[in-house]
Structure 1
Amino acid sequence: MLTVFFVMLLGVAIGIGVRRIPAVRHTGKWVSIVIYILLFLLGKEVGGDKQLLASLSTLGLQALLITGGAVAGSILFATFIFRFFFEKK
């Protein structure tokens, strides 16, 4: 995981360094295409893993519960921050 973080930081540093080059400014379309390819390959790997597919219902329920908790917590915290800092009295 630490390797992924450092690779991402390296990408940010390189992006900051080359953003003034005109040819590099139009890479958004290519980045989207590469992300779609990576998502396709990830789906292919998940679809080919029998053990993962067998436990998908359990994993899906856990993911739903975690997502619901994260959304509810974010809404509650955002409401608190708004009322505490931005609401006019």
Structure 2
Amino acid sequence: MFIVILFIFLGIAVGYNVRTRIKSATRKSAIGTWAGRATTGLIWLLLFMLGIEVGSNDQIISALPTLGVEALVLSGFATLGSCALAWALWKTAKGGKER
């Protein structure tokens, strides 16, 4: 865990140094474009590695139908609850009167 936190702070330090040392606008946009592409690529790589990790775990694969049903029930109730509270807020904000 210490190594993960160390890498987070190392990334913050590198990003701060790159941002403060490059002064010209053209270099900033080039660095920004490169950083955006690198971030997107790394996110895809992390998602791929997570998929490999989950796919190789027999316990998760065997419990996938149960997890899917639980996820469907939770998302359904979350959506219904959000709609109900949004409707109640709408009625409260309007004072219960239709215009």
TM-score class, shorter-chain normalisation, is 0.5 to 0.7
> Are positions 1:25 and 2:32 aligned together?
yes
Q: 2:52 aligns with which of 32, 35, 44?
A: 44
Q: What is the TM-score when the length of structure 1 is the normalising length?
A: 0.64
- C-alpha spacing 1:30/1:88, structure 2 compared with 1 (3 Å): farther
State the 1:88 CA deviation: 7.0
- Whether 1:34 and 2:42 are equivalent positions in the alignment is yes
Give the TM-score taking structure 2 as reference length: 0.59
Alpha-carbon distance change, 38 to 79 in structure 1, aligned in 2, over 3 angstroms: same
Whole-Å separation in 2 of the counterparts to 1:80 and 1:56: 36
Take 1:83 and 1:29, find their aligned partners in 2: how far apart are those partners?
Answer: 45
| Distance in 2, Cα, partners of 1:28 & 1:80 | 41
Structure 2 gaps, min length 5: 23-27
CA RMSD of aligned residues (A): 3.3
Say which is worse superposed, 63-72 or 27-36, in terms of deviation.
27-36
Summarize the alignment of residues 1-89 of structure 1 with structure 2, pairs less than 5 Å apart. 18=19, 22-23=28-29, 24-26=31-33, 27-85=35-93, 89=99
Q: Which has the larger radius of gyration?
A: 2
> What are the Cα deviations for residues 9-57 of structure 1, in whole angstroms up to 9, with x where unaligned?
x96xx67xx49x6255333332222111111111101110011101111
1:36 partner amino acid: W
Q: Distance in 2 between matches of 1:63 and 1:80?
A: 26
Task: For 1:38, give the aligned amino acid.
Answer: L
